[in-house]
Amino acid sequence: MFSNTVLSKRRIWSSRILSGIAVLFLLFDSLIKIIKESHAVEGTIQLGYPETAVAGLGIIEIICLALYVNPRTSPFGAILMTGYLGGAVATQVRIGSPLFTHTFFPLYIALFLWGGLYLADERLRNLLRWKKHSN
């Protein structure tokens, strides 16, 4: 139905869109934490973290993001960002946030990151490909 070229272009653009949405959101989130924008500080305090942790969280987030956007270190960045986002899920569970809108939101971002990486990286697709075992 579609040629490999068309599928490759669709895969590339789908990858860019998925990753781009997640990267833009995470970049904004990390920057407002680093500059200690008032809403970021208030939100972090409401989640139970001290004000002194806000900039540090932003720095950790932007380092993970920088590793993700570099093609050579993307898988490592995705793994680190998944850990960071896992902490966000745990925080939302701890304070009793609504499941689908707040608690799962970091999971949605992680799925965009990994989905974009999966579409862009042949090595990851090969790694995750199911292989039949013959007896």
For residues 36-50, average pLDDT: 96
Token pair of 115 as six digits: 């989905």
Which pLDDT does position 2 carry in this prediction? 45
Cβ burial of 127 (10 Å; 0-12, 13-18, 19+) is exposed
Taking alpha carbons only, the member of 88, 106, 34 closest to residue 66 is: 34
**pTM of the predicted protein model:** 0.87
Label residue 7 by pLDDT band (50, 70, 90): low
Q: How far apart are CA 21 and CA 17, in angstroms?
A: 6
For residues 8-21, average pLDDT: 94
